[in-house]
Chains A and B, each alone.
Chain A
C-alpha cells in the first residue's frame, strides 16, 4: 500500500524514509485520514515532509500519483456537468506541444479567460483546444494536459466553481530553496560558516576544570575560568557597485546586512566591475579615499575568507588587458590583481547575483570563473550553501 507513491517521492528527490511511511500507515490504521482526500493529503504531508521548502515538490508528486484516485473521489461527490468531464482518453503530447501550452500564460490570466469562456460555453465539449471539457489541451477541464490548467469538478447553475485542489494550488512554490534570498535566509546560510573559539578575557566559570582542580586540591575550592566562546570566523567582502549591479542592489544589501550582523570580523570593500589596484569603502568618497590592494593584502591575514559579490558582466578587456578599466588607466590587468588576492587568501569564492543559466552566454563570466577556478556560485540559498562549503 502506498509503496509506489513512496518510491515516486524518493525518485522525485525527497528524502522520505521507511520510518515515516510506516508512521503514515500507522496513522491511517488508526483512522486518522478519515474519508476525504484532503484529510489524507494533510496527514501524509505532515508525516512525510519535514521541510516547508519541500512542500511544493510534494504537491506535484502527490498530484501526479493521485490524479486518477482524485477523479474517482470527485465523481462520487460531483453534482457536476458530468458529461462535460467524463474522461474518454488521455492526450499524448510531444514536448513541443507541452512547451506551447506552458506558454499560455499565468494562472491569473487563465482564470480570467475561464470566466469568459464559461460565459460563452453552454454545451458539452470534448477534444479540441479551446472549450471546457475532457481530453483536450484547453486550460480548462479534466484529463487533458495543461500544466497551469484549472480543474472544474463542480459547477452549479451560473456560479460556484471548484477550482484547483489543495495540493494543486501549489501555495508553497515560493518556499522552494532555489529562490532568491531574504536577510534571514542569508543569515541562516552564513551561520554554517561559524566557528567558535575561546578568545579574550577569561570571564566564565569552567565547571569541569574547577571540580577537577578542587578535587586535586583536597576539596578546597579552586576556581578556574575560561574565556567565552566567540565566532572566530573572519570575512572580507568585496562588492561590485554601480553599473550593471544596480539591478541587484537589494539582494546585495540583504547579504551585506546579514553578514554584518553575523560576523564580528567583517571587512568590506567596493569595486566597480572588476578588481584593480585599489578598492574603496565609501561610495561617496570613492575617488579620494581608496585603499590599495597591496595594503589590503598586508593588513588582513590569510585566515580571512574572501568573498566577491558581483555579476562579472563586462567587456572581457576589462579583465585581461592593461588599461581595460572603464574608469581609469590601469597599468596592470584586473586579472593580475585578483590573482594576487587569491594567492594571499586561499579560501575565496565569487557570488554572482545573475541567474546561473545566463552565465555561459557572457564571456567575462567565463573568464572570471576560470580565474576563480570554478568557485563561482549563484546568489541563492543553495548557491550560498555550496559556496560556504568551499570556504570552510
Chain B
C-alpha cells in the first residue's frame, strides 16, 4: 500500500486532508466526492491522481441533460431503424447499436483506472440515485443483449460537484468527502512555484499580494480563483511586466496590469476601477 499512496505530484500541490481523502478512497475502493469553489483544481485532481498512480483516466462530463444510463451505454435505436429501412446486414445484431459509455469503458480497463465523474451536480436531481447500484457493486446489465458487465478492477472514482444541487443521502453515504478550501498564501505560493518554476521571486511576491488584495475586496460577484491567478501570471510573464508595476502602493499605477484575467464580470471590473479610483483620490 505504501507505494501507491497519493502524495500530490510535481504539478499539483495536495493538502494533507486532501491526500487522506484520496488515499482512503483508493484503499477502500469507494468513490471520492470533491467539492469546492470553482477553479480550485477539482477536475485537475483526477488527472493528477491518475498520473501519480500510473492509472489510465476515463472522464465523464455531466451536463444538465445527462442521464445515468448514458454513462453505462446507449442503444442507438434511430441508427438501427434507419439501417433496417435501408436493408443493411448489421441490423440483425443488436450489439452493433450499443454504444459504450465511460463507466463501461472504465470497467473494461485492463489496469485499475481512474474514473472522473465531473460536475455531477449539473445533472438532474435523481441522477446520483440512478448510479447507486453501479457504483456499489461495480456491475450492470445490458438489457438489450442480456449480458452483465462487471468491472475487472474497481476503478478509483472521483466525483466533483459545484454544489448547485444537493446530492441524495444514500449516495453521499457511499462516498468519501473532501471540500477543497481556497488555498492560503503559503500553499498558493507552492502552487505557483510548481506551475512557473522559473518565476522571479519578487514578481511572484508582488503578484500574490495583489491577487489576495483583489480577493479581499468587498462586493465582488466572482472572486478570482487559483486558475485565474495562474492565467494572470502567465500573461504577466508573456508581457514581461516588471514587479514594480504591481505594487499597489504606487499611486499612479494602482490598477494591476491585465486585471481582465482576474475579474470575469463586467460589474466586478467596474466596481474594482471605482474602488481603486476612490483609493487614489483619498491618498493624494
Contact = CB atoms under 8 A, between A and B. Distances in A.
Contacts of A172: 179
B172 A50 contact: yes
A43 B84 contact: no
A26 B28 contact: yes
A42 B221 CA distance: 31
A55 B177 CA distance: 11
A46 B165 contact: no
Contacts of A211: 77, 81
B176 interface: yes
B21 A50 contact: no
A23 B169 contact: no
Contacts of B175: 50
Given A27-B27, A191-B165, A219-B84, A39 B177 contact: no
20 contacts: A20-B173, A23-B176, A26-B28, A27-B24, A27-B28, A30-B28, A32-B20, A38-B16, A39-B20, A45-B17, A46-B17, A46-B20, A46-B21, A50-B167, A51-B177, A52-B179, A55-B179, A207-B78, A214-B81, A250-B219
B20 A43 contact: yes
A335 interface: no
Interface of A: 15, 17, 19-20, 23, 26-27, 30-32, 38-39, 42-43, 45-47, 49-52, 55, 171-172, 183-184, 187-188, 191, 207, 211, 214, 219-221, 250
B69 interface: no
Nearest to B23: A32
B181 interface: yes
B33 interface: yes
A172 B219 CA distance: 21
Contacts of A52: 35, 179
B28 A42 contact: no
Identify the interface centre among A42, A183, A207: most chain B CB within 10 Å of its CB: A42
Given A38-B16, A52-B35, A207 B77 contact: yes
B9 interface: no
Interface of B: 1, 16-17, 20-21, 23-24, 27-28, 30, 33, 35, 77-78, 81, 84-85, 163-167, 169, 172-179, 181, 219, 221
A221 B85 CA distance: 9
A61 B178 CA distance: 19
B30 A23 contact: yes
Contacts of B35: 52
A46 B176 CA distance: 5
Contacts of B174: 19
Contacts of B165: 188, 191
B85 A43 contact: no
B28 A183 contact: no
A31 B27 CA distance: 10
A90 B178 CA distance: 36
Given A17-B173, A20-B173, A219-B84, A42 B163 contact: no
Secondary structure at chain A's binding surface: helix, strand, loop or mixed?
helix
A49 B85 contact: no
Contacts of B28: 23, 26-27, 30
B36 to A, nearest CB: 9
Contact of B164 (A23, A38, A55, A188): A188
Contacts of A219: 84-85
A49 B24 contact: no
Contacts of A19: 173-174
Contact of A188 (B1, B81, B163, B172): B163
B27 A30 contact: yes
A47 B179 contact: no
B217 to A, nearest CB: 14
B212 to A, nearest CB: 17
Contact of B81 (A42, A49, A191, A221): A221
A23 B178 CA distance: 15
Question: What are the 5 A-B residue pairs with the smallest beta carbon separation, nearest first?
Answer: A50-B172, A42-B20, A52-B179, A42-B17, A46-B21
A237 B179 CA distance: 35
A81 to B, nearest CB: 27
B177 A49 contact: yes
A139 B280 CA distance: 41
Contacts of A221: 81, 85
A221 B178 CA distance: 50
Given A183-B221, A211-B77, A15 B169 contact: yes
A169 to B, nearest CB: 11
Contacts of A23: 28, 30, 176
Nearest to B82: A221
A383 B19 CA distance: 36
Given A188-B163, A188-B164, A171 B181 contact: yes
B115 to A, nearest CB: 19
B169 to A, nearest CB: 7
Contacts of B169: 15, 17
Given A45-B17, A46-B20, A32 B81 contact: no
Contacts of B177: 45-47, 49-51
Identify the interface centre among A19, A50, A191, A221: most chain B CB within 10 Å of its CB: A50
Identify the interface centre among B17, B35, B175: most chain A CB within 10 Å of its CB: B17
Nearest to B169: A15
B157 to A, nearest CB: 15
Given A26-B28, A42-B17, A211-B77, 11 more contacts: A27-B28, A32-B24, A42-B20, A42-B21, A45-B17, A46-B21, A46-B177, A183-B221, A188-B164, A188-B166, A250-B219
A32 B166 CA distance: 29
A220 B167 CA distance: 43
A179 B29 CA distance: 35
B178 A46 contact: yes
Contacts of A39: 16, 20
A386 B175 CA distance: 28
